[in-house]
Structures are given as structure tokens and as C-alpha cells.
Amino acid sequence: MNIPNLQAPVGGGGNKQICPEGAHVARCYQIIDLGTAEQGGEFPGKKRKIQFLFETPHETAVFNEDIGEQPFYVRSMYTLSMNEKATLRKHIQSWIGKSMDDKEAAQFNVFSLLGKPCMVNVVHSHKGENTYANISSLMPLPKGMVCPDAVNTLVAFTPSQPDMDVFASLPTFIQDKIKESDEFQNYMAQGMESMPPAPQHSGGLPAGAKDPKSYNPKGAPAQTEAAPWEGVDDTDPFA
């Protein structure tokens, strides 16, 4: 009997394209408040998490032959805390090029960063056979440098006042994370009929909000399926 050859693949993520390491011009195109839920890791407990997605217009690749070249994206996830030791506050201060006192930090609208350009410093981390692109730091664009217009739609979301159209557009695993949050469960438990309508969005922003600075949903303090759950600040103890 003639027995054919059969080889099994080694690992699964070897061909995944991720953003190259180094400093890149970038624009924040998505800020997702994931809400408060139990967290594991080195510092377990209930914490509120927030995710930022950035596109890198000068670093592109072909992910879909029908679409052609698109920018890479990189993601950073933080505990939603503006404690002076929290990574979120440190990264925001570095991004805007300005230190904040506690009063300024407490009043800072995180959603005001949506659509803003910056420089992202990307480093790779390795888990088993998988390689991930993580953001190690954020900086303002150097004087005279221009970031191209956004390619991806600007999207902001908070489970405290969820826009369900935006929610439906998010990757399934992000939806699942949001569903676990206290804020989303409280919203659903109160009954959507008894709640005020969520803001309608255009390009990720509510009607009438021409600038992300005007978008600060009540209850929100201070391209496809993304990479596996990975973030530079997933164990930040300063919640």
C-alpha cells in the first residue's frame, strides 16, 4: 500500500504580521473602556481597564489582498487610574508633553486623546511561539512632523453608557470582556427601556461632537480581531 506523507504544523501564530519594533508615527483611533471586573495576575482584584489602539500610517502591510496596504495597529491596555504612580498617567503625561498635578489628573478626560497623533515606541515580547507588539512609551510628535489623517474610524466606548452599535462592531473577545464588567451588567440589569438613549455616533463620536474633547460619557472617569489578550499594563498595581 502506498502511504502518503502527512505533516502536522508546529504552533499556530508563526505567520502573523505584527508592527515592527522601533519608534513610529501613530494616531489613536480607538479608546475602549472595558469596565470593572476581576483581574488575575500578580495583582488580582477588581479593576477597571481601558484599551487604546493606535494605527501606524508609515508602517503598512497587506493583510487582505482585496484591500491592499493598511497600517499596522498596536494596542496598550491600562488600569483606569490617574494615581501618580499609575502607568496610564505616566504615559499620558509623556504623550501630551506636560506633567499634571493631582487636580489636573483627576479632571483629565481620557477620551480627549481620541484621534490625537503621537510617537509610539514598540517592543516585541514572546510567549511560547507567539510574538506580540507592545507599546513601551508614548511621546509627542517632534516639532514639524505631521501624522497623516486617520485611516480607521475613530471609536470610543464606555459600558457606563454603552452605544450598542459601537459595541456590536467590536471584536467578540472584547465584547466578552465588556459583558463581564460591573458597569455593563448594571446597565443591562436596569433595563435598556428605562435608561436614557445612548449617544448616537458618527465615526465613533456622538452626534454634535465635532471634536473628541467634547466626548466625556457620564460615568467614565478621568480592523479586525485584535491579537490575543496582551497589554503592557495588565498587572498595574496602582488602581
Q: What is the pLDDT of residues 102-124, one digit of tens each?
A: 999 999 999 999 999 999 999 99
Q: What pLDDT is stored for residue 191 in this prediction?
A: 72
Cell matching residue 70:
493598511
Task: Please give the Cα distance from 60 to 79 (Å, whole number).
Answer: 29
Given a cut of 70, is residue 25 above it in pLDDT?
A: yes
Give pLDDT, residue 167.
Answer: 95
Quick: pLDDT tens for 138-161.
999 999 999 999 999 999 999 999
Query: For residue range 44-58, what is the model confidence (pLDDT) as tens digits?
Result: 899 999 999 999 999
Check residue 112 and report its DSSP letter: G
Of the candidate ranges 28-42, 172-186, 208-222, the one whose mean pLDDT is the lowest = 208-222
Q: What is the pTM of this model?
A: 0.77
User: 152: which DSSP letter?
Assistant: S
Cell numbers that stand for 207 in this block: 452626534
Look over the chain and give the mean of its residue pLDDT values, rounded to a whole number: 81
User: Distance between the two ends of the chain, CA-based, in angstroms?
Assistant: 66
Closest CA to 32 of 54, 55, 50: 50
The amino acid occupying position 46 is: K
For the stretch 186-236, pLDDT in tens is 999 987 545 455 444 433 443 333 344 443 443 333 333 333 334 444 444
Angle subtended at Cα 239 by Cα 40 and Cα 172, rounded to the nearest 5 degrees: 50
